[in-house]
Chain A
Amino acid sequence: SQTIHQWPATLVQPVGSPLSLECTVEGTSNPNLYWYRQAAGRGLQLLFYSVGIGQISSEVPQNLSASRPQDRQFILSSKKLLLSDSGFYLCAWSVRGASSYNSPLHFGNGTRLTVT
């Protein structure tokens, strides 16, 4: 069965420090990969998605970047964190492409980031 791992679970970082959140997926090949941010009382906001190694699409301009160095690895980064980067970050995967039907996203357990 497929599993998705995100780490760390919680993180407290000072303003201006770098960030690296990692996500890996097991049990599937060539997945679509996603980074979402969830703010309290608001819906999930798509930050980045990737359909393959080195292929990253950004949905919103921001202080963050994403990379996909391997098929099942997705990394969210920042060179200098802002206070507004605090939030709950979720990685997700889905079956890639094909068919006229979409497939559900499967989420990791998230990283709670607090920028102080």
Chain B
Amino acid sequence: GESVGLHLPTLSVQEGDNSIINCAYSNSASDYFIWYKQESGKGPQFIIDIRSNMDKRQGQRVTVLLNKTVKHLSLQIAATQPGDSAVYFCAVSDGGSQGNLIFGKGTKLSVKP
């Protein structure tokens, strides 16, 4: 079966620095990948997605990199701000016809002022 994991459960960065959050997946049939941000007491908020026909996608201060060869996904946040403090987790499609997602457990990002 699939597994979705994160390399680090917590990440602490200085305000203004760049943050990198990683995610590994195991199903080579996965073709759709999403990053979510979840603040305390709230639901997950969509940040950015990428499909398997791409290896990089950029948004506002965020970049997602996809390496299908090693089944690795990363989220880069530029110039991290205190408002970026949250739990970040990836979601990976299970490769089935229903397009169900498998979610990672999350990395808690703390931004030090």
A44/B103 contact (C-beta < 8 A), A104-B46, A107-B43, A110-B42 known:
yes
Per-residue interface assignment for chain B, residues 37 to 51, with 1 indicating a CB less than 8 Å from any chain A CB and 0 otherwise: 000011111100101
Per-residue interface assignment for chain A, residues 55 to 78, with 1 indicating a CB less than 8 Å from any chain B CB and 0 otherwise: 000000000000000000000000
Measured between beta carbons, the chain B residues less than 8 angstroms from A101 are 31-32, 51
Q: Is B56 an interface residue (CB 8 A)?
A: no
Q: Is B73 an interface residue (CB 8 A)?
A: no
Measured between beta carbons, the chain A residues less than 8 angstroms from B106 are 43
Task: Classify chain B: how many residues form its interface, as a range.
Answer: 20 to 34
A43 B104 Cβ-Cβ under 8 A: yes
Q: Is B109 an interface residue (CB 8 A)?
A: no
| Tally of chain A residues near chain B (CB < 8 A) | 19
A104/B43 contact (C-beta < 8 A), A41-B105, A42-B105, A43-B103 known:
no
Measured between beta carbons, the chain B residues less than 8 angstroms from A108 are 43
A9 nearest in chain B by CB position: B41
Q: Which of A42, A46, A90 contacts B43 (CB 8 A)?
A: A90
Q: Which of A43, A92, A112 contacts B102 (CB 8 A)?
A: A43
B32 A102 Cβ-Cβ under 8 A: yes
Per the bound structure, the CA–CA distance linking A95 and B101 in Å amounts to 14
A32 to chain B, nearest CB (A): 9
B12 to chain A, nearest CB (A): 18
A104/B49 contact (C-beta < 8 A), A43-B4, A43-B105 known:
yes
Q: Is B64 an interface residue (CB 8 A)?
A: no
B42 A105 Cβ-Cβ under 8 A: no
Per the bound structure, the CA–CA distance linking A46 and B103 in Å amounts to 10
Q: Is B89 an interface residue (CB 8 A)?
A: yes
Chosen A-B contacts, 8 in total, with CB atoms closer than 8 Å, are A43-B103, A49-B100, A101-B32, A104-B46, A107-B43, A108-B43, A109-B41, A109-B43
Q: A: which residues have CB within 8 A of B?
A: 6, 41-44, 46, 49, 90, 92, 101-102, 104-110, 112
